[in-house]
Structure 1
Amino acid sequence: MLQSFYTAVSGLNGNQKWIDVISDNIANVNTIGFKSERVTFEDLVAKSLTTFANNTPKNMEIGGGSFIALTTKDFSQGSFQNTVNPLDLALDGEGFFMVKDNQGTVYYTRAGQFRLDANGDIVNVDGMKLQGWKLDTAGNISAALDKINIPYSILPSITTKINLVEPTNLDSRVNTISGTIDPTNPATFNYANSMTIYDSLGNPHTLTFYFQKSSPNTWNVAAYVDNNTTTPVGSGTLQFDSTGKLISGSPITLSIPLTNGATTPQTVTVDLTQVKQVASDFIFYANQDGFAKGDLIGVSVSEDGVVRGMYSNGKVELIARLAVATFKDKEMLVRKGNNLYLPNTQSFTPIITPGGILSKVRSGFLELSNVDISKEFINLITAQRAYQANARVITTDDQILQEAMNIKR
């Protein structure tokens, strides 16, 4: 008789813990990146006896109730919420963001609410630093895994190289002009075009190219800076073949007097190898490697986890590529609160890859909790009824015990 009391009590305790788990799931229905928990019940055996009659087993098994053996996490994908913050990030697929606290402990999370702190570090709501790899100008990983830092400004860079690139063209149909190029006399040149270059302090200067067709397939080029129209900073002669392809005259070296206090001229190499001379309109298309000081005006994160900084000088800088970690057995992860997980042993290391490999990184989105409210309410009703049924067993046991005690009367 007493055994049934303990059996019913085990049912009460187990279903009460189940309700605790359900209530935690429901409480976190609006928690970004939350993963719901599920309970696993196992049975208890109070008595198990096996005898044999004529070599046939006869089992006597009386259960002792149930208990919650473990809880498991549901790591299924949550739905996405669109936001206006480019540093709100969601992982579309497998893995976790990696964040590090000031003590050097790395945590794993699906919550992608990030921002820039005063130092330019990308941090989560608790100030932990998002981890990734620094990139070089070509987009290659150039340093060990570390915090992602976006400079709030970039220093100016002096112009050292100019490329005249496709579809730059000098019209072969124009008339030839004799004499020397004079920027003040339009009759001495066929075309002119200006572009901006920068000195070492980031000061902009206007560089103007003048093109003169001196004979069939031959062009003279002269370059002048700012308002100086008397002394060219560089010149050259371009020779084209019968198909309009440049065969000589590139590169041209410019020697530009600086206004930043430096005593040596600014040397700029002009690459014209892609310039053509065909029967088509004049086109001038050039790029150069200098720029002025720039202040951060925006941040973007691509699907492959590449972080870019956009600056007021028009530059878009490759900053870093964030890291995504996963585990062969996610049940090795233990909840630490604040949407954070840690492996339950120090030796259990993650698989770490750049973003875009295990999962795509969605910028401007947050992953919502994967709690299914309707399912949790059904579980809540089931747990409540199971609790009531076990309580009724105790009431029934009490009534039977009372009857047994009344036999002596």
Structure 2
Amino acid sequence: MLRSMYAGISGMKVNQTKLDVTGNNIANVSTTGFKSSRVRFKDMLSQNMGEAVGPGRSQGGVNGKQVGLGVQVAGIDTVMSQGMMQPTSRNLDVAMDGTGYFIVAKGALPESNAGGIAVSESEHTMSGGAFQVNYTRDGSFTLDHQGNLLTSDGYRVMGYAINEKDDKGNATGDVSIDYNANGAVNFVNADGEFGLKASNTLVPLRIPDSVHMKNSELKSPKIMNYVGSGKLNNDDGSDLLNNQPQIKIEEPTTGVYRGKESLKIEVKFMEKHQFINPEDKKLTDVDAAGYRVFVNGKEYGAIGCKVVIDKSGKIKGEDEFDGTTDNVANVITVGEQAVMPDADKSKYKWEFTLQPECDKKLRSFAIEKDGLVKGVLDDGTVTALGQIATASFKNQEGLKKEGKNLYSNTANSGVPTVRSGLGTPKDLDNGDGYGEMLQGMLEMSNVDLAEQFTDMIVTTRAFQASGKMISTGDEILQDIINLKR
């Protein structure tokens, strides 16, 4: 009799566990990206009452006799089936339609891309970086006042910084994200000639109010030749002979120009036999507004900011006389039959810096299916702000729930496999199989209420039946005791 009572106890215990799991599933029916759990049972050790006997000449075989000693929990599984999509029309909501997970982290911000989490392009594994990394299906992201892309609990969303690539697929530079309070993401033209390439490290992503153009690379033609439309006069104010535009800014129109380099420009007085006073003749400042800038051979648009950095926002040059003139009052004197021999060598040398450095306001942004975050600036230019990274696991049921809709990998889930970034060579690209990111959507819980209520009814009855077994055993024991009066 005691065996049945203890079997009833084991039945109550396991069904209590199943009720706990069912209750948690029902409680999280509205939790974003929640994955339901299920409980499986298995029988405990059975006690042999008789051994099995094989068939013989005189009689047939006899099966063994066993009495079970109860039930125990076989496992609690996480059901990783896809949840339904809920439209939210919020641009910071992203649903993962597939088996991928968003990579989120806490930790000190890196000073540059090199301080991020390195991703092996061939193995697609992560290494390095001073971050506590977790994974989530909850794409209800937020922004703080610095533009950091975060989960609702402040975990930073990790992703790739984006560079422009050349015709050979190599990155043309190393675009870094500025994490200062007022820092802006550097400008990367999303409509470049050769496309985009992701960095090989994961860093916290930002969607700032503005985009900085300091490190953008200007290629041919970077500056159009400028011919002055004004006129030069003699010292007495009279017109020069053959008065045509005579001041020309020459070179450069080819090659690669980077932001902090200097550009030497010669201003030559082309005509001889004219009175020119180099102390008085200067180029008028040229306003940058309206000039065109080309990025990777394609027109970027009219400049609405400073091309040359100075407080007034105009192109300015400090004149440096580089030529020979008459030492008296620096005037080139011309007689009826006398021409100064070196007058044609007289020239001014202008040197200024072309730094397309300005902040463009971010009008809106969009997250594409591959995680690429594109921003639309106030002048209509489209810029790449980064690419949201995702990871997958060989055994996603082996992930450990950490609370806050977060998971961590375990020994049985395996290490995460990170999705390749943009511009990865085809033979190394593992982009298939992770799923697509759907902006303006959230993945709902995959809890099926009808199934959970049915399980709850069955489990409750099983719990009651196990308890009844104990009370029934008690009644039988009472009857046995009452045999002796």
Q: What range is the shorter-chain TM-score in? A: 0.5 to 0.7
Q: In the aligned structure 2, how far is the partner of 1:115 from the partner of 1:100? A: 14
Q: In the aligned structure 2, how far is the partner of 1:290 from the partner of 1:53? A: 93
Equivalent position of 1:89 in the other structure: 94
Provide structure 1 residue ranges, at least 5 long, that are not aligned to the other structure.
Answer: 164-181, 184-198, 209-257, 269-288
Equivalent position of 1:214 in the other structure: none
> Following TM superposition, by how much is the alpha carbon of 1:315 offset from its aligned partner in structure 2, in angstroms?
2.3
Equivalent position of 1:108 in the other structure: 135
Equivalent position of 2:461 in the other structure: 385
Equivalent position of 1:363 in the other structure: 439
- Give the direction of change, closer, same or farther, for the CA distance of 1:121–1:207 in structure 2 (3 Å limit): closer
- Give the direction of change, closer, same or farther, for the CA distance of 1:203–1:309 in structure 2 (3 Å limit): farther
The answer on 1:308 being equivalent to 2:374 is yes
Contact 1:100 1:106 in 2 (8 A): yes
Identity of aligned residues (%): 33
Q: What's the TM-score once normalised by structure 2's chain length?
A: 0.58
Equivalent position of 2:21 in the other structure: 21
Equivalent position of 1:399 in the other structure: 475
Equivalent position of 1:286 in the other structure: none
Q: In the aligned structure 2, how far is the partner of 1:111 from the partner of 1:407? A: 65
Provide structure 2 residue ranges, at least 5 long, that are not aligned to the other structure.
Answer: 108-129, 165-194, 223-243, 246-258, 261-285, 293-312, 319-349, 422-430
Q: In the aligned structure 2, how far is the partner of 1:401 from the partner of 1:366? A: 58
> Following TM superposition, by how much is the alpha carbon of 1:339 offset from its aligned partner in structure 2, in angstroms?
0.6
> Following TM superposition, by how much is the alpha carbon of 1:323 offset from its aligned partner in structure 2, in angstroms?
1.5
One-letter amino acid matched to 2:363: I
Equivalent position of 1:36 in the other structure: 36
- Give the direction of change, closer, same or farther, for the CA distance of 1:346–1:2 in structure 2 (3 Å limit): closer
- Give the direction of change, closer, same or farther, for the CA distance of 1:262–1:32 in structure 2 (3 Å limit): farther
The answer on 1:330 being equivalent to 2:396 is yes
Q: List aligned pairs for 1:10-409, cutoff 5 A.
A: 10-48=10-48, 49-52=50-53, 56-102=61-107, 104-137=131-164, 138-156=195-213, 161=220, 204-206=288-290, 259-263=314-318, 264=350, 293-345=359-411, 348-354=414-420, 357=432, 358-409=434-485
Contact 1:98 1:323 in 2 (8 A): yes
> Equivalent residue of 2:15, what SS?
helix
Contact 2:213 2:358 in 1 (8 A): yes
Contact 2:399 2:413 in 1 (8 A): no
One-letter amino acid matched to 2:447: V
Deviation string, structure 1 residues 175-202 (Cα, Å, up to 9, x no partner)? xxxxxxx99xxxxxxxxxxxxxxx99x9
Q: In the aligned structure 2, how far is the partner of 1:265 from the partner of 1:153? A: 30
> Equivalent residue of 2:74, what SS?
strand
Contact 2:135 2:407 in 1 (8 A): yes
Q: What's the TM-score once normalised by structure 1's chain length?
A: 0.68
Equivalent position of 1:244 in the other structure: none
One-letter amino acid matched to 2:484: K
> Following TM superposition, by how much is the alpha carbon of 1:322 offset from its aligned partner in structure 2, in angstroms?
1.5
Q: Name the Cα RMSD after superposition.
A: 3.2
One-letter amino acid matched to 2:450: S
Of residues 143-152 and 56-65 in structure 1, the stretch that sits farther from structure 2 once superposed is 143-152
Q: In the aligned structure 1, how far is the partner of 2:291 from the partner of 2:53? A: 105
> Following TM superposition, by how much is the alpha carbon of 1:92 offset from its aligned partner in structure 2, in angstroms?
0.8
One-letter amino acid matched to 2:453: F
Q: In the aligned structure 2, how far is the partner of 1:154 from the partner of 1:134? A: 14
One-letter amino acid matched to 1:52: V
Deviation string, structure 1 residues 188-241 (Cα, Å, up to 9, x no partner)? xxxxxxxxxxx99x9653359xxxxxxxxxxxxxxxxxxxxxxxxxxxxxxxxx
One-letter amino acid matched to 1:126: D
- Give the direction of change, closer, same or farther, for the CA distance of 1:346–1:35 in structure 2 (3 Å limit): closer
Q: In the aligned structure 2, how far is the partner of 1:123 from the partner of 1:203? A: 41
Q: In the aligned structure 1, how far is the partner of 2:373 from the partner of 2:437? A: 11
One-letter amino acid matched to 1:117: D
> Following TM superposition, by how much is the alpha carbon of 1:117 offset from its aligned partner in structure 2, in angstroms?
2.1
> Equivalent residue of 2:90, what SS?
coil
Deviation string, structure 1 residues 286-308 (Cα, Å, up to 9, x no partner)? xxx97963122222100111111
One-letter amino acid matched to 1:39: V
Q: In the aligned structure 1, how far is the partner of 2:470 from the partner of 2:441? A: 51
Contact 2:99 2:392 in 1 (8 A): yes
- Give the direction of change, closer, same or farther, for the CA distance of 1:336–1:30 in structure 2 (3 Å limit): same
> Following TM superposition, by how much is the alpha carbon of 1:57 offset from its aligned partner in structure 2, in angstroms?
4.5
